[in-house]
Amino acid sequence: MVRGDITFVSGGVRSGKTAYAEGLLEGSDCSRLVYVATGLPADPEMEERISRHRQDRRRSRRNWVTIERPIDLPGVLTMIREGDGVLVDCITTWLANAMYEGFETGSSCHEQPGCMEEKIGEMLNAVVRLAETASAVVIVSNEVLDEPSSGYEETRKYAETLGRIHRQLVKISDRAIEMDAGIPHRWK
């Protein structure tokens, strides 16, 4: 089987990344559209964002299957069918979830030697494996590296880790698109 296309879509907050990514798949000939949501409804703002994204997909001309996967992206692999179009939204949220997995027990992943490297490797491998089954995979992530460097060590660590992940995702992607005020700029 031919590997499906991988498209990486990044951009600033509210730049139109998700709408653009959804449009890519809605206009495709993929047999089924799968939305892999990484958000956790941890506060009222996130609850509202999740609700808005669900409503947007309900208004779509095509039906979406939603799979909620805050951290375990490899767990999605068994749910994907040949010919699917898969949207993973978003790596920014996935990274925050992964970094702080175990927080409630006093041992966040980012504080454990090798934990983040393992999770990032699993996530990147899952993206490649998704493309082995799906016709198209679209990965969405926020671009936070255009902002001034934070004075907080954990925030700097997060931004630097996200930058490394973005470079790795662009490397394995067929296309890399940056959204700016609703306008897509194709870099690869």
Find out whether 52 is annotated in a ligand binding site.
Answer: no
Q: Is 53 a catalytic residue?
A: yes
Residue 155 token pair = 């925030």
Find out whether 37 is annotated in a ligand binding site.
Answer: yes
Residue 80's φ and ψ, nearest 5 degrees, are -95, 135
124, amino acid identity: L
| Tens digit of each residue's pLDDT (9 = 90 or more) over 143-152 | 876 665 667 7
Find out whether 43 is annotated in a ligand binding site.
Answer: no
141 burial class (0-12, 13-18, 19+ CB within 10 angstroms)? buried
* Of 85, 55, 153, 168, the residue nearest 120 (C-alpha): 168
Between CA 99 and CA 121 the distance in angstroms is: 14
Catalytic member of 53, 110, 166, 185: 53
The whole-model pTM stands at 0.87
Find out whether 136 is annotated in a ligand binding site.
Answer: no
| Tens digit of each residue's pLDDT (9 = 90 or more) over 90-117 | 999 999 999 999 888 889 999 999 999 9
- Architecture in CATH for domain 5-186: 3-Layer(aba) Sandwich (3.40)
* Confidence tier at 156 by pLDDT (50, 70, 90): confident
| Tens digit of each residue's pLDDT (9 = 90 or more) over 25-56 | 998 989 999 999 997 766 677 667 666 666 66
